[in-house]
A and B are shown apart, each in its own frame.
Chain A
Amino acid sequence: MPDPMHQFEIKRLINLEFIGLDASFTNSSLFMVIAIACIAFLTIWGMRGRALVPTRMQSVAEISYEFVANMVRDNVGSAGQKYFPFIFSLFMFVLFCNMLGMTPYSFTVTSHIIVTFALAALVFIGVTIIGFVKHGLGFLKFFVPSGVPVALLPLLVVIEVISYLTRPISLSVRLFANMMAGHTMLKVFGAFVVGLGLIGGWAPLAFMVAFTGLEILVAFLQAYVFAILTCIYLNDALHMHH
């Protein structure tokens, strides 16, 4: 059976070195560039007509805009409108990386923990800075749950701090694990189809067709969850709801 992990291998396409660091242009970078190009094409070229009755491309661009705008409005409120461009970019980038990964022989950028962790750390650090800028040191009250006995506070504050600090880890591992587990499973079942041959291979093939559909759903869902959790974290920092 071929190695199901082979698809996640990073290959150098153009060797580059930047002040002693390996900054090669890899297949991961290539698919990031493709994702960005697709998003730019969709939003810029799709909206070029600005028609009252949208074309199909314009419709897709408008639907994705509306979708993220509603998400921000529902979860963060009017204070979050300032951060809409960031959340829209984040959602579209993760969505396109996940969806491009579903193309056969392509590379899934989000199946590498370093990529998702960089995105999650960016969200985490940004949200923490927003919280401190907005509330000053009062943001530390976020870690003190209201309405609990004072005797329990030392324990609860520690738990709150730990749960806050695990946010970037859970946010990144969720996306990475979903993508990697799905693609590994597709590869393993693909090997079953080949291994069982013309007579027995149809059963795993039928399963794979259904599973590919599920994977496309998961690809969208994980982008959605990544964006909505960013909204929720942002809401915590802006309004300190508990």
Chain B
Amino acid sequence: MDPAAAKLIGAGLASIALVGAGIGIGTIFGNYLAGALRNPSAAPGQFANLLLGFALAEATGLFGLVIALIILFVF
């Protein structure tokens, strides 16, 4: 295979990591909403944890994106 093509395919494959970030963010916000609707008075207290969980979940997907960018621009 042409190395340039292999590089592009590899970068594309590395971006699949963002699927996991999508699932993670969806789970966090979905569960937060489910919990908040059951007990609305407890919801504001957990907002900081929600944001923290969102950022942590998003970051794991972005690590994959960084690998894709490294493949594209460094090698």
Residues of A within 8 A of B (CB): 5, 74, 170, 173-174, 176-178, 180-181, 221-222, 224-225, 228
Contact across chains for A177 and B62 when beta carbons are under 8 A apart:
yes
Q: Which residue of A lies closest to B62 (CB)?
A: A177
Contact A170-B62, Cβ < 8 Å, known A5-B73, A221-B51, A225-B52:
no
Q: Which residues of the partner chain B approach A170 to less than 8 Å between Cβ atoms?
A: 59, 63
Q: Which residue of B lies closest to A178 (CB)?
A: B62
Q: Which residues of the partner chain A approach B69 to less than 8 Å between Cβ atoms?
A: 180
Q: Which residue of B lies closest to A184 (CB)?
A: B69
Q: Give the number of chain B interface residues (Cβ < 8 Å).
A: 14
Tell me the interface secondary structure of chain B in the complex. Answer: helix
How many angstroms between the C-alpha atoms of A178 and B62 in the bound complex? 7
Shortest distance between the CB of A10 and any CB in chain B (Å): 14
- Contacts A/B (CB < 8 Å), 29 sampled: A5-B73, A170-B59, A170-B63, A173-B59, A173-B62, A173-B63, A173-B66, A174-B55, A174-B56, A174-B59, A176-B66, A177-B59, A177-B62, A177-B65, A177-B66, A178-B58, A178-B59, A178-B62, A180-B69, A181-B65, A221-B54, A221-B55, A222-B55, A224-B51, A224-B55, A225-B52, A225-B56, A228-B48, A228-B52
Q: Which residues of the partner chain B approach A176 to less than 8 Å between Cβ atoms?
A: 66
